[in-house]
A and B are shown apart, each in its own frame.
Chain A
Amino acid sequence: MASKISRAKSASKATPSPRRVPWVAVVGAAAVLGAGSAVLVLRQPAAEQATEAAAPAGAEAEFQQRLAELRARVAARPGSPAELADLARLYHVNGYNDEARAAWLELHQLQPNDARWPYYLADLARTASDPAGIEEWLRKTVEIAPDYAPAWLQLGELAFKAARFEDAERAYRRRLELVAHDPYAAFGLARVKFQTGRRTKGKQAIEELLRATPGFSSAHNFYAEILAQENKTEEAADARWRGTTSGRFRAADDPWLEELRDWCYDPDQLVVWGEIDLQTKRGDHGRKFLERAVALEPDSSRAFEKLGEFYLEQREPEKARQTLERGKHRAGASESLYLGLCRAYEMLQRTADALQATEDGLAIMPDSSALYSSRGLLLGSMGRFDEAVESMRKSIELAPGSPSAVSSFGLLLLHAGKRDEAIAQFKRALQIQPRFHQALTTLGRLELEAGRPREAANYIRPFFDQFPGSRAARDLMSKLYIGFALEAVRAKNEPAAEQACREGLEIVPDSPELHGFLGTFYAHQNRVPEAIASLEASDRLRPNDPRTMLPLAQLYQASGQIENARRLLARAEAEARRNGQSDAAAQFAELLRRLPR
């Protein structure tokens, strides 16, 4: 019988059997291959890693830092409403809506009697266009805080827009109980009346509202079109003017939402708030948003642009200049920024710098019609006419549909004494846009200067129709009727001259020029009482105008009203001295001296 043979191993070296070596190597290689493949596939490219790994800069960095601080505070004091509320505010106003919602919900659980939390949830629902959510949380808000007026206004608006007019009316009335004479609620109630077929009452309600709150632009604008519907053209035009001069619509004050804004680190959002305040005549209020935007994102030009615009409106050209110069060097500097900078330099009477601003802008925006136009006007003012014309032609070539470019060319030609060519450009501007106001007013003035009031009327009347309340339109209208009166005087048609003045005064009853002209006219006709009445009216409307005071004083004297004459001449002398007009002052003093005692 054969037996199994064992081979003894040498004591010095263990030699693996040939079959185990491939196993280990293969398995090891497979593991390495697996790992290597994973590294190649899963590892991000270096650039992306660098991007992620790099610290955020500017506003984002500040926001992240603040976020980290608040998160740490919340983590350190879990369940503490104060910390959680701060974090929620930060989330809410910086666009972290899901996180904000979760935080407000938690706060609502922790503090069910604080109405701010459901109110903020309603605001988030509005952002998400969730009307059911808005209503739910607003109802909760007023349940807890029945006196928070902004919530009632929102409930009213929500119901109105869903055509639930009874609910809307209830909510608006509650708002009015809390905020007496609130124009928003009053306007809402008026609109409910219109929607429910009570037009007459609705119109009356708007009229009452406008008497109580004459600055509420939406009501003016709405009312203007009601008048237009009724074919009351002139009243509609007047209402439109009031609406426009009242400024843009501004949402009702809301302290709880307002306090969130201090937590905003989003420069774009801050600029929007600042811009809204600028447009709604609350520039001072908006200034802080713009300044914060500039501080948060010093590399973005947009905030600088808006802040510069604010300073220009405040007539602070040096601040505007400094701000816009800083903004110019930031990425994304816009055409508006350069135009604003140009304007700032013009206000500072630094024409060469203004020109440089346009050229800096054109270097990066070579197809900007507006910059070429500004450049052209500046070159013209510096006597570089040929270059100015070239710039204007370029402006028009870039924006052939723009009446502004063409009209600016007309202004250039006018200033260069090329009247006929200028007129052709203004007329061309009117072909592009039939009521372009710069062309209308300039052509109107030119026709008046040429002694052609009937032709001037073709331009001045459309301008006045659009802007009946503007000083410029009223002045031009006065001049137009004075022009008619002078034409009649030259034709020796005195009744027509008087009629022209009277017609003008029906349209522009507050015109000191028309009153003054009529007074002088009556004086020449020896109609002393009428002359005095007209000149007194002129003096009331524009006090201390020597062109009125001198003839009026003479008339007073001629009619035996010595004391009136004395008072007037004394006032005239004092005014002349105040203005440094020593010759005029001396003249008035001499007349005073000659008055009988």
Chain B
Amino acid sequence: MRKPLLLTLTVLAALAAGWGAVALYFSTQAKPANNRAATQPESVATTPMQLEYVPEPIGAPASEFVRPLISHIEIVDLDQDGIADILYCEGQKNSVRWIRQSPRGQFTEFVIGENIPGPVHVAAADLNGTGRLDVLVASMGRILPTNERIGAVVVLENLDNQRFEKRVLLEHAARVTDLRAANLAGHTDGRLDLVVGQFGYDQGETRWMENKGNWQFESRIINTQSGCIHTPVADFDGDGRPDIAALISQEWEEVHLLRNLGGGRLADQVVWGSTNEDFGSSGMTVADVNRDGRPDLVVTNGDALDYSGAGTRPWHGLQWLENKGSGFFQYHRIGNQVGAFSPAVADLDGNGTADIVTVSAFGDWGRPNASSMIAWLNDGRQNFTPVVLARTPTHLITVAVGDLDGNGVPVLVTGGFHIFPPWKDMSSLTLWRRK
């Protein structure tokens, strides 16, 4: 008995010795010098894939747009039939489209708004208490940089969940980048006011428009800085009144809280900012990240649209501002991602925590490890692990997350914004279901 065992052990030792000798030899070979790529953001996401998503093109094909410029997507049950739909806007044909899901699993696209130059944000809200959701469209006039006052506030009034009438409520203004509805004035009859973010370029502003009824609105400018990108609404200070958070880019790179003091008064206060004037703020959303009952802010910085070729920046990425109450926010950096845009928050892995997904609109697409979509998985203590979900299609500028399948599992929808080369791996809308 002992001899076969001895033989076996000896053979194994010989195998290991042979392997070890060769391994030792390779380890002594000269290594390449420190490579700048090793410190680039893309190499951070080395965690083995824990989530996998399967893409499926949806809506009008990319070929219809030649080079799609899908600027924003919203998942919303527009006709309120209990099944979530997709709303989006695009800047190639300047249209707003509704991909209606009815019955579940069957998607039909309708163009509900046309000739809206440079549409970049859509939202749904019942502006006048009709029981139907109107579509709010932020119109830049032109998406590429210009200071021309060509922005507009456009509402597609929902007449009967089939026909939508275009109403232009503000025009010849600094370019409009965000439009939402909120009851800022304390209406009791179902009316909602409008929150308007205006990037402009050299000059811009953030305003609210009080709904006076009968499609009449009265404007008030609250913040006088250019570069407003997003204006999410929530009761940030817990006083029962909706407030506005404004992400302001350009040379400012700040987040402002526009606190609703009641009586139609809003006060502007800065709550955070970067001293890097090239920070590239690109998107902001509101979510209770740490589940403490207070709405927090999640912010991406990845915009390099000013520079031709939109080069990468090592400081691009993701952060969140923890709402500590009383208008105070604490900054937490989450991670790096080149060209990061469009933070969306959802429990992606089903562990009850707030995860985040972001996309990349500008990347070094020549590199094989460039990612276009990353999930940031929350361990419950707000430590986030990046997981690359996709490397193609490229040039994704918007992602929305919602329960499209009605089973509680978040579905992602991304939009391609192909304004810079390379002109391959293009997409219009892509639906992503968890594998």
Give the nearest-CB partner of B171 in chain A: A434
Task: Known contacts A35-B19, A466-B149; decide if A432 and B94 are in contact (CB<8 Å).
Answer: yes
Whether B15 lies near A33 (C-beta < 8 A) is: yes
Binds A, one of B28-36, B120-128, B129-137: B28-36
Task: Known contacts A39-B22, A157-B275; decide if A96 and B34 are in contact (CB<8 Å).
Answer: yes
List residues of B (1-52) whose CB comes within 8 Å of A's CBs. 7, 10-12, 14-23, 26, 32-34, 36, 39-40
Whether B117 lies near A37 (C-beta < 8 A) is: no
Whether B203 lies near A243 (C-beta < 8 A) is: yes
Instruction: Check B250 for interface membership: any CB of A closer than 8 A.
Output: yes
Other-chain contact of B149, A195, A251, A435 (Cβ < 8 Å): A435
Whether A97 lies near B141 (C-beta < 8 A) is: no
Whether A218 lies near B273 (C-beta < 8 A) is: no
Whether A433 lies near B142 (C-beta < 8 A) is: yes
Q: Distance (Å) between the CB of B257 and the closest chain A CB? A: 9
Instruction: Check A272 for interface membership: any CB of B closer than 8 A.
Output: yes
Whether A268 lies near B312 (C-beta < 8 A) is: yes
Binds B, one of A21-29, A106-114, A452-460, A515-523: A21-29
Whether A195 lies near B221 (C-beta < 8 A) is: no
Instruction: Check A134 for interface membership: any CB of B closer than 8 A.
Output: yes
Give the number of residues in B that approach A within 8 Å (Cβ atoms). Answer: 74
Whether A38 lies near B14 (C-beta < 8 A) is: no
Other-chain contact of A367, B66, B117, B204, B254 (Cβ < 8 Å): B66
Other-chain contact of A131, B11, B202, B317, B331 (Cβ < 8 Å): B331
Chain B residues within an 8 Å CB radius of A94: 36
Chain B residues within an 8 Å CB radius of A57: none
Whether B308 lies near A160 (C-beta < 8 A) is: no
Give the nearest-CB partner of B150 in chain A: A435
Instruction: Check A334 for interface membership: any CB of B closer than 8 A.
Output: yes
Give the number of residues in A that approach B within 8 Å (Cβ atoms). Answer: 86
Most buried by A among B10, B19, B21: B19
Whether B172 lies near A434 (C-beta < 8 A) is: yes
Most buried by B among A305, A365, A436: A436
Instruction: Check A98 for interface membership: any CB of B closer than 8 A.
Output: yes
Chain A residues within an 8 Å CB radius of B16: 34
Whether A222 lies near B225 (C-beta < 8 A) is: yes
**In the bound complex, CA of A275 to CA of B311 (Å):** 12
**In the bound complex, CA of A306 to CA of B308 (Å):** 9
Task: Known contacts A243-B202, A251-B277, A432-B117; decide if A26 and B11 are in contact (CB<8 Å).
Answer: yes
Whether B270 lies near A34 (C-beta < 8 A) is: no
Task: Known contacts A163-B270, A163-B271, A243-B203; decide if A35 and B149 are in contact (CB<8 Å).
Answer: no
Task: Known contacts A23-B7, A435-B150; decide if A400 and B15 are in contact (CB<8 Å).
Answer: no
**In the bound complex, CA of A425 to CA of B274 (Å):** 45
Instruction: Check A423 for interface membership: any CB of B closer than 8 A.
Output: no
List residues of A (260-302) whose CB comes within 8 Å of B's CBs. 268-269, 271-272, 275, 279, 302
Instruction: Check B309 for interface membership: any CB of A closer than 8 A.
Output: yes
Whether B149 lies near A97 (C-beta < 8 A) is: no
**In the bound complex, CA of A306 to CA of B275 (Å):** 27
Whether A38 lies near B203 (C-beta < 8 A) is: no
Instruction: Check B147 for interface membership: any CB of A closer than 8 A.
Output: yes
Whether A34 lies near B14 (C-beta < 8 A) is: yes
Instruction: Check B372 for interface membership: any CB of A closer than 8 A.
Output: no
Instruction: Check B162 for interface membership: any CB of A closer than 8 A.
Output: no
**In the bound complex, CA of A30 to CA of B149 (Å):** 79
Chain A residues within an 8 Å CB radius of B148: 435, 437, 466
Instruction: Check A58 for interface membership: any CB of B closer than 8 A.
Output: no
List residues of A (35-65) whose CB comes within 8 Å of B's CBs. 35-39, 42-43, 52, 64
Instruction: Check A81 for interface membership: any CB of B closer than 8 A.
Output: no
Whether B275 lies near A161 (C-beta < 8 A) is: yes
Instruction: Check A385 for interface membership: any CB of B closer than 8 A.
Output: no
Chain B residues within an 8 Å CB radius of A26: 7, 10-11
Whether A400 lies near B34 (C-beta < 8 A) is: no
Q: Distance (Å) between the CB of A121 and the closest chain B CB? A: 14
Whether B307 lies near A225 (C-beta < 8 A) is: no
Instruction: Check B205 for interface membership: any CB of A closer than 8 A.
Output: yes
Give the nearest-CB partner of A403 in chain B: B117
Whether B314 lies near A401 (C-beta < 8 A) is: no
* Binary CB contact string for chain B from 249 to 293 against chain A (1 if under 8 A, 0 otherwise): 011001000000000000011111111110000000000000000
Chain A residues within an 8 Å CB radius of B141: 433, 435
Chain A residues within an 8 Å CB radius of B268: 194-195
Q: Distance (Å) between the CB of A569 and the closest chain B CB? A: 46
Task: Known contacts A225-B224, A249-B277, A466-B148; decide if A96 and B19 are in contact (CB<8 Å).
Answer: no
* Binary CB contact string for chain A from 13 to 25 against chain B (1 if under 8 A, 0 otherwise): 0000000000100
Task: Known contacts A95-B39, A401-B117; decide if A229 and B315 are in contact (CB<8 Å).
Answer: no
Chain A residues within an 8 Å CB radius of B12: 30
Chain A residues within an 8 Å CB radius of B225: 222, 225
Q: Distance (Å) between the CB of B404 and the closest chain A CB? A: 28
Task: Known contacts A228-B205, A240-B202; decide if A249 and B251 are in contact (CB<8 Å).
Answer: yes
Most buried by B among A95, A305, A365: A95
Instruction: Check A416 for interface membership: any CB of B closer than 8 A.
Output: no
Chain B residues within an 8 Å CB radius of A31: 14-15, 17-18
Binds B, one of A122-130, A376-384, A549-557, A579-587: A122-130
Whether A129 lies near B275 (C-beta < 8 A) is: no
Other-chain contact of B315, A128, A218, A268 (Cβ < 8 Å): A128
Whether A302 lies near B308 (C-beta < 8 A) is: yes
Task: Known contacts A160-B273, A272-B311, A367-B66; decide if A229 and B221 are in contact (CB<8 Å).
Answer: yes
Instruction: Check B161 for interface membership: any CB of A closer than 8 A.
Output: no
Whether A162 lies near B23 (C-beta < 8 A) is: no
Chain B residues within an 8 Å CB radius of A436: 150
Whether A130 lies near B333 (C-beta < 8 A) is: yes
Instruction: Check B306 for interface membership: any CB of A closer than 8 A.
Output: yes
Instruction: Check B433 for interface membership: any CB of A closer than 8 A.
Output: no
List residues of A (417-461) whose CB comes within 8 Å of B's CBs. 431-437
**In the bound complex, CA of A99 to CA of B255 (Å):** 32
Q: Distance (Å) between the CB of A248 and the closest chain B CB? A: 8
Give the nearest-CB partner of A435 in chain B: B150
Instruction: Check B351 for interface membership: any CB of A closer than 8 A.
Output: no
Other-chain contact of B18, A38, A194, A218 (Cβ < 8 Å): A38
Chain B residues within an 8 Å CB radius of A158: 275
Not counting A43-B26, A129-B274, A367-B66, a sample of 17 additional A-B residue pairs whose C-beta atoms are within 8 angstroms of each other reads: A23-B10, A26-B7, A27-B14, A35-B22, A68-B33, A96-B34, A99-B34, A225-B224, A243-B202, A249-B277, A271-B311, A305-B308, A367-B67, A400-B93, A403-B117, A435-B141, A437-B148
Would you give 8 A-B contacts (Cβ < 8 Å), ordered by A?
Answer: A30-B18, A31-B18, A38-B18, A221-B203, A224-B203, A279-B306, A334-B421, A435-B172
The 7 closest A-B pairs by CB, nearest first: A34-B18, A161-B273, A225-B224, A30-B14, A38-B22, A35-B18, A34-B15
